[in-house]
Amino acid sequence: MQQTLVIFKPSAVQRGLIGQILTRFEQKGLKIVAMKMATLSEEILREHYAHLVDRPFFPFILASMTASPVVLMVLEGVDAIKVVRLLTGATNSREALPGTIRGDFSMSGQENVIHASSSPEDAQAEVARFFTPDEIHHWTPLMTPTLYSPDGK
């Protein structure tokens, strides 16, 4: 099992897309193990987007990500990091395939509605950045035997 961090960006919250996007994850069979609303500080955004702070568009990212509260969640499942990135689609929403979240809900390279961890290392750091251990819930959905084979495949 893997855990991955998803942020519903202000571009999803402001447009009233939380429910529709969350449904995509639920119907895929991903387990929600943590979820909350928060207003992100510049400090945590500088840490989260450290690989982009020197890019000319970083001020736009800061303004965009602080335009409203966001919804943060941790999703769990077999290969969850890759599965969620596939559901998310390409960074530039205009190139994201139809059927993906970005492909279906957005038109921009910046206002691309959600963030999703891109590697096991990033996922571990990002979950710890936004959630304390006691905010992560350990539970077994009743549908689990209908989602995976007995050996977890």
Nearest residue to 8 via CA among 80, 122, 92, 84? 84
Among 86, 110, 135, 136, contact with ligand ADP (rule: CB under 6 A)? 110
**Candidates 31-39, 66-74, 104-112, 123-131 — which segment interacts with ligand ADP by CB under 6 A?**
104-112
Binding to ligand ADP (CB under 6 A): which residues in 47-66?
52, 57, 60-61
Residues whose CB is less than 8 angstroms from the CB of residue 99 and which lie 6 or more positions away in sequence, other chains included = none
Task: Tell the smallest beta-carbon distance from residue 100 to ligand ADP (Å).
Answer: 11
> Residue 112, interface with ligand ADP (CB under 6 A)?
yes
**Candidates 16-24, 29-37, 110-118, 134-142 — which segment interacts with ligand ADP by CB under 6 A?**
110-118
Residue 43 near residue 138, CB atoms below 8 Å = no
Q: How far apart are CA 65 and CA 74, in angstroms?
A: 18
**Candidates 16-24, 66-74, 111-119, 143-151 — which segment interacts with ligand ADP by CB under 6 A?**
111-119
Note if 138 is an active site residue. no
Nearest residue to 21 via CA among 144, 98, 104, 96? 104
Beta strands in 19-138 (DSSP E): 31-38, 70-77, 114-116
Q: Footprint of ligand ADP on this chain (CB under 6 A)? A: 52, 57, 60-61, 91, 109-110, 112, 115, 118
- Residues acting as catalytic residues: 115
